[in-house]
């Protein structure tokens, strides 16, 4: 298979982290219940063809027996690529042997010219090594060319089938729709936990903090979808095209680091942080509030320390235009900005929690009355 030399541009990486979640959030809010009378979707079939057509996912979606053809070709590509990598290593080794033999031959010739002892024997030995290495190089080159040819033919066969299916897909979807009868009842999602209702918060500050962290958590949650596509590309590039990337892993672990920081306030709002609550669960509402108020001291000490040091890290990185030490050399200052940003979101949510705990301490009945929502 031909190699892929694509390297993700920095501007595309940052634009993707911003535009993809925004687009997904808009589409999610505009989404309508799907028509249960439609058994197959042509846009989805084309999407499957583009993303997984090389292994016949679109044919599997259409329940076609020809899926086995794509699977067989793809498995053949994987097997051939193993031989391609081995042939490439053999060719590299043969080239190194030739260069080493030529170097020894040059040194031996110089030694003969200077009349050194045993120079003639060394010259003869170097010539013999060169003669032995040349056939091995030719053999390795032929093996590499043959396996590359087989890989290219298999890749061309898959590409040809994909082009044909791209034109046939509307007809294939239509035929499959005619063969299948639509279900009398659509799929009903089982009951799930209702989403957080910001309107239930008793004042504007609570509502603002809740809404802000809710949007931040939703925004970075869509980054996980980006990771699916990036790692999918990495696997295909590495094992199908013998072209591992130098940016996929780095871009994703940096993205997940930012996600971890920015989503902290959202997780605190949802009460999702890990905590030891063996005794806490047996406390009354007022004693829970007292416990939360006392332990919040340590929370705010850590958060303000993170905010201050995080801002220093970000400012220093921005001042020197810091980049990573890898070949990709991505900018570090936006990543380090997630430190003070995440700390600020956590502090806002922590203040909201503290104010609620104080209100509960003063009037525990407020929780039962519904005038104040308990996060415990």
Q: Domain spans of the chain? A: 45-179, 198-369
- CA atoms of 222 and 232, how far apart (whole Å): 16
Would you say the C-alpha torsion 73, 74, 75, 76 has a positive or negative sign?
positive
In the predicted model, what is the mean pLDDT of residues 315-330? Answer: 93
In the predicted model, what is the mean pLDDT of residues 320-346? Answer: 94
Averaged pLDDT of the chain = 85
Percent of the chain residues past pLDDT 90, beyond the cut: 42
In the predicted model, what is the mean pLDDT of residues 260-275? Answer: 89
Mention every residue, 6+ apart, whose C-beta is less than 8 A from residue 321. 331, 333
Confidence band, pLDDT 50/70/90 cuts, at residue 201 = low
Place of tokens 């003969």: 112
Q: Where are the alpha helices (DSSP H) in the chain?
A: 10-30, 42-52, 57-61, 67-113, 119-179, 204-221, 223-239, 248-262, 264-269, 285-319, 333-362, 365-369
Q: Per-residue pLDDT for 181 more than 90?
A: no
Give the pLDDT score at 263: 95
In the predicted model, what is the mean pLDDT of residues 330-358? Answer: 94
Give the pLDDT score at 183: 53
- CA atoms of 203 and 215, how far apart (whole Å): 18
Tell me: the pLDDT tens digits for 202-219? 678 888 999 999 999 999
DSSP string, 192-234: -PPPP-GGGSSSHHHHHHHHHHHHHHHHHHTHHHHHHHHHHHH
Q: Per-residue pLDDT for 295 more than 80?
A: yes
Q: Per-residue pLDDT for 269 more than 60?
A: yes
In the predicted model, what is the mean pLDDT of residues 313-330? Answer: 93
Give the pLDDT score at 370: 52
In the predicted model, what is the mean pLDDT of residues 286-307? Answer: 92
- CA atoms of 241 and 159, how far apart (whole Å): 13
Give the pLDDT score at 366: 62
Higher pLDDT, 127 or 190: 127
Which range among 70-84, 175-189, 292-306 has the greatest average pLDDT?
292-306
Tell me: the pLDDT tens digits for 63-117? 999 999 999 998 998 888 888 888 989 999 989 988 888 888 888 888 878 777 7
Q: Per-residue pLDDT for 185 more than 60?
A: no
In the predicted model, what is the mean pLDDT of residues 310-316? Answer: 96
Give the pLDDT score at 35: 46
Confidence band, pLDDT 50/70/90 cuts, at residue 192 = very low
Tell me: the pLDDT tens digits for 117-164? 777 888 888 888 888 888 888 999 999 899 989 988 998 999 999 999
Confidence band, pLDDT 50/70/90 cuts, at residue 36 = very low
Give the pLDDT score at 347: 96
Give the pLDDT score at 38: 54
Would you say the C-alpha torsion 144, 146, 147, 153 has a positive or negative sign?
positive
In the predicted model, what is the mean pLDDT of residues 179-184? Answer: 62
- CA atoms of 8 and 226, how far apart (whole Å): 13
Contact 307, 344 (CB under 8 A): yes
What pairs with residue 323 in β-bridges?
Answer: 331
Higher pLDDT, 177 or 370: 177
Cα–Cα distances in Å, from 109 out to 100, 148, 285? 14, 38, 93
Joined tokens for residue 210:
């809740």
- CA atoms of 155 and 240, how far apart (whole Å): 9
Tell me: the pLDDT tens digits for 210-243? 999 999 999 999 999 999 999 988 988 888 787 8
């Amino acid at each position: 298979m031909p190699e892929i030399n694509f390297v993700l541009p920095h501007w595309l990486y940052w634009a993707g982290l911003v535009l993809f979640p925004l687009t997904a959030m808009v589409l999610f809010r505009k989404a309508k219940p799907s028509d249960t009378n439609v058994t197959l979707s042509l846009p989805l079939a084309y999407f499957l063809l583009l993303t997984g057509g090389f292994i016949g996912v679109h044919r599997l979606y259409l329940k076609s027996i020809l899926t086995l053809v794509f699977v067989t070709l793809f498995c053949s590509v994987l097997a051939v690529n193993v031989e391609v990598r081995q042939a490439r290593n053999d060719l590299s080794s043969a080239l190194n042997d030739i260069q080493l033999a030529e170097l020894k031959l040059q040194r031996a010739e110089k030694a003969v010219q200077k009349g050194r002892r045993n120079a003639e024997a060394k010259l003869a030995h170097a010539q013999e090594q060169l003669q032995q290495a040349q056939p091995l190089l030719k053999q390795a080159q032929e093996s590499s060319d043959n396996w590359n040819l087989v890989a290219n033919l298999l890749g061309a066969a898959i590409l040809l089938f994909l082009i044909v299916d791209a034109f046939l897909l509307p007809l294939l979807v239509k035929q499959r729709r005619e063969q299948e009868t639509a279900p009398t009842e659509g799929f009903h999602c089982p009951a799930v936990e209702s989403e957080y209702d910001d309107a239930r918060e008793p004042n504007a500050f609570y509502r603002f903090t809740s809404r802000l962290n809710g949007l931040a958590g939703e925004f970075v949650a869509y980054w996980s979808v980006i990771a699916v596509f990036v790692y999918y590309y990495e696997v295909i590039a590495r094992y199908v095209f013998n072209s591992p990337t130098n940016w996929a892993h780095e871009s994703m672990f940096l993205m997940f680091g930012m996600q971890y920081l920015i989503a902290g306030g959202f997780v605190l709002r949802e009460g999702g942080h890990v905590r030891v609550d063996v005794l806490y669960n047996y406390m009354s509402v007022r004693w829970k509030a007292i416990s939360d108020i006392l332990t919040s001291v340590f929370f705010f000490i850590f958060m303000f320390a993170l905010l201050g040091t995080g801002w220093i890290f970000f400012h220093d990185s921005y001042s020197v235009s810091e980049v990573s030490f890898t070949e990709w050399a991505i900018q570090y200052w936006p990543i380090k900005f997630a430190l003070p940003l995440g700390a600020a979101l956590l502090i806002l949510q922590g203040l909201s929690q503290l104010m609620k705990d104080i209100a509960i301490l003063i009037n525990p009945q407020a929780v039962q009355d519904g005038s104040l929502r308990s996060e415990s």
